[in-house]
């Protein structure tokens, strides 16, 4: 028996024994039945300079009612992988392989028409910049009404009522009146709230929030985070939250996936990973936090910069920046890519590093309010 895996159009035969072994090593941090299951996801952009492999062998899962945070430096593949989950890539210019199952339905290879039905009803995404999602020429109310009617066969008046309820739910004062406003008449924070209202108007089971608060000032950021957490509690959705801010992760996420150069390098429950990270890249991220509420800033940035995806270093892609590679025997870090596997007795968490017994136990003092 063997399994067919398509990789950029080429069918690769993989012995079943290998894939079963690989699968048994995939972490399921909560042990709950997942709603979103991403497995061996690869996203490649053919470019004039060669193929850009933006996401490589990515696997994770998110159950309903739980929040997964995806973190990593700029260019690590957070947005590209999430856009694949939403079926937002142009099929003409993007090669996608692997599997993305959403409530049992396979998203990879789904027809555009089905994808459109899925987006906004089963799954919704909030972006950093609501300008890109709210149309400047239509009133906020009209856009909310249309978003609802795209998936519900109801009269305008009923949809308007639902829109007003949603605006009220996300904390927009005087929602009936604000329905007639254009996006530019809203403040940045209000626009982001309206965007969240639009995302949630059809009760999606999955919400992906891609740095939804980065463009907002700190007070508004905190309000929007509270709002997303409240709404998740009420709607019971699965949430994927993309952020650069590990303070935010500690605050709102259950699980964390750390990405580097298109790959997951550490994955598991937030309290375990941020409490005792196993990957030197996660150590680096924790040490380079500018400042977390009440904590002093950590000024020990990771040396160097992430690699170009057209020239990813051999072996462990992080090895040129890693201060711990000397502690691994031989030339392993340069020559062999480590697997993402459990590195401790706890099989619910995995990391991708050759270090066997980390000589340094990372002492965490950064986390604001961990359980
Ligand atoms: N259409 C495209 N063609 C070629 N390369 C692309 C394309 N879209 C994204 N990339 C590349 O894929 C990589 C991953 O991009 P992605 O947007 O997922 O990063 P990110 O982790 O979300 O970063 P940020 O934190 O800056 O948002 C980047 O190197 C980016 O340049
Ligand atoms: Mg991004």
pLDDT digits (tens, 9 = 90+) for 125-136: 988 876 677 899
Residues with CB under 6 A from ligand 1: 45, 47, 52, 54, 72, 74-80, 309
Distance 75 CA to ligand 1 centre (A): 5
- Supply the pLDDT for residue 241: 96
Q: Please tell me which residue, 295 or 276, carries the higher pLDDT value.
A: 276
Q: Give the pairing of strands 263-269 and 67-71.
A: unpaired
| pLDDT average, residue stretch 48-55 | 96
Distance 128 CA to ligand 1 centre (A): 14
Most confident of 28-32, 186-190, 334-338, 365-369: 334-338
CA-nearest residue for atom 4, ligand 1, is 45
Distance 304 CA to ligand 2 centre (A): 20
| pLDDT average, residue stretch 144-150 | 95
164-178, 225-239, 309-323: segment of lowest average pLDDT: 225-239
Element (H, E) at 208: strand 206-210
* 8-31 core/surface letters (b: 16 or more CB in 10 A; e: else): eeeeeeeeeeebeebeeebbbbbe
Residue 210 CA: which ligand is closest?
Answer: 2
Rg (CA), the chain: 21
- Supply the pLDDT for residue 366: 46
CA-nearest residue for atom 17, ligand 1, is 79
* Residue 91 CB contacts under 8 Å (≥ 6 apart), including other chains: 112
Residue 311 CA: which ligand is closest?
Answer: 1
Ligand 1 atom, smallest distance to 43 CA: 12
Ligand 1 atom, smallest distance to 90 CA: 1
Distance 232 CA to ligand 2 centre (A): 22
Cα 265 → chain centroid: 14
- The mean pLDDT value of the chain amounts to 85
Given a cut of 90, whether residue 314 has pLDDT beyond it is yes
CA-nearest residue for atom 31, ligand 1, is 75
Ligand 1 pocket mutation pick from 43, 73, 76, 80 by most atoms within 8 angstroms of CB = 80
* Distance of alpha carbon 255 from alpha carbon 23, whole angstroms: 19
CA-nearest residue for atom 12, ligand 1, is 54
Distance 84 CA to ligand 1 centre (A): 12
CA-nearest residue for atom 8, ligand 1, is 80
Residue 127 sits at the vertex; the CA angle it makes with 125 and 129, to the nearest 5 degrees, is: 155
* Residue 223 CB contacts under 8 Å (≥ 6 apart), including other chains: 171, 189
| pLDDT average, residue stretch 82-95 | 95
- 327-336 pLDDT, tens digit each: 888 899 999 9
Give the ranges where 180-252 is alpha helix by DSSP (H): 188-200, 218-235, 246-252
Q: Please tell me which residue, 359 or 143, carries the higher pLDDT value.
A: 143
- Supply the pLDDT for residue 131: 67
CA-nearest residue for atom 11, ligand 1, is 54
């Amino acid at each position: 028996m063997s399994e067919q895996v398509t990789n950029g159009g080429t069918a690769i035969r993989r012995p079943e024994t290998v894939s079963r072994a690989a699968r048994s090593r995939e972490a399921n941090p909560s042990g709950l039945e997942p709603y979103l299951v991403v497995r061996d996801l690869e996203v490649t952009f053919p470019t004039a300079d060669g193929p850009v492999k933006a996401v490589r062998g990515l696997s994770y899962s998110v159950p309903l009612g739980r929040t997964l945070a995806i973190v990593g430096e700029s260019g690590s593949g957070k947005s590209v992988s999430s856009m694949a989950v939403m079926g937002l890539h142009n099929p003409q210019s993007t090669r996608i392989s692997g599997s993305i199952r959403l409530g049992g339905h396979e998203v990879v290879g789904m027809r555009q028409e089905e994808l459109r039905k899925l987006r906004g009803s089963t799954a919704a995404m909030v972006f950093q910049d609501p300008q890109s999602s709210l149309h400047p020429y239509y009133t906020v109310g009209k856009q909310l009404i249309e978003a609802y009617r795209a998936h519900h066969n109801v009269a305008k008046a009923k949809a308007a009522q639902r829109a007003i309820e949603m605006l009220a739910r996300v904390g927009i004062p005087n929602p009936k009146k604000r329905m007639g406003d254009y996006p530019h008449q809203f403040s940045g924070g209000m626009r982001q709230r309206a965007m969240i209202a639009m995302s949630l108007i059809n009760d999606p089971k999955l919400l992906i929030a891609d740095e939804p608060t980065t463009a907002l000032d700190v007070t508004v950021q905190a309000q929007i985070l509270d709002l997303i957490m409240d709404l998740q509690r009420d709607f019971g959705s699965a949430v994927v939250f993309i952020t650069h801010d590990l303070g935010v992760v500690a605050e709102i996420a259950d699980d964390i996936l750390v990405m580097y150069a298109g790959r997951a390098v550490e994955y598991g429950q937030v309290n375990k990973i941020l409490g005792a990270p196993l990957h030197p890249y996660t150590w680096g991220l924790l040490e380079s936090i500018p400042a977390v509420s009440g904590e002093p800033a950590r000024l020990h940035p990771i040396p160097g910069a992430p690699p170009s995806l057209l020239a990813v270093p051999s072996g462990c892609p992080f090895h040129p920046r890693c201060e711990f590679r000397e502690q691994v025997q031989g030339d392993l870090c340069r020559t062999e890519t480590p697997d993402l596997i459990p590195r401790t007795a706890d099989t619910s968490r995995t990391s991708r590093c050759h270090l066997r017994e980390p000589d340094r136990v990372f002492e965490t003092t950064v986390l604001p309010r961990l359980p």
